[in-house]
Amino acid sequence: MAQQVIPLSLIPQGWFMSWFMATQAAFDICVTLQDSAQAYVNGQCRQSTTFGVLDQGFAQVTGSNMSLTVNIASSDQIFVVNHPVVVPNVKGITVAQGYVFAFEDGDDQDFNDLYCTIMAWQSVG
């Protein structure tokens, strides 16, 4: 079984978070998105070679230490490409930040097994 636990330090407590996760994989992929207070995605799994949504949603972040955990029972390793994203306003002040991830569960190196975006905004409205 392979597991990746990724700390998400760009997602702070009190900010407004949105996420989207999709898979296209022969292996069952399970994802947890959580902080110290709650799980926003709790062990959600999907196994299909047809591209489809694993989970999506939005919430105000209630706790600290946000993390993303990916488990793939049938894989020996997980590769991940992680691109942090910072969005400044016209004055250069950061108003949103987060991540874009692409995961690979095998040897074909197509990085389409799990795709995930997690973004957070400082305010609403």
Identify the helix (H) or strand (E) that includes residue 84: strand 79-88
Domains in the chain: boundaries = 2-121
pLDDT digits (tens, 9 = 90+) for 85-94: 999 999 999 9
Contact (CB, 8 A) for 11 and 120: yes
Q: How many angstroms from the chain centroid is the CA of residue 98?
A: 9
What pTM was estimated for this model as a whole? 0.94
In this structure, how many other beta carbons lie within 10 angstroms of the beta carbon of residue 50? Answer: 6
- Best CA proximity match to 31, nearest among 18, 47, 14: 47
- Cα separation of 103 and 80, whole Å? 4
List, as one string, the DSSP characters of 46-74: EEEEEEEEEEEEEEE--SSS-EEEEEETT
The pLDDT of residue 123 is 85
CATH of 2-121, one of 3.30.470.10, 1.10.10.10, 3.30.70.250, 2.60.120.400: 2.60.120.400
> What are the tens digits of pLDDT across the range 49-103?
999 999 999 999 999 999 999 999 999 999 999 999 999 999 999 999 999 999 9
Q: Are 54 and 23 spatial neighbours (Cβ–Cβ below 8 Å)? A: yes
Contact 80, 72 (CB under 8 A): no
The residue whose two tokens read 């998105």 is 33
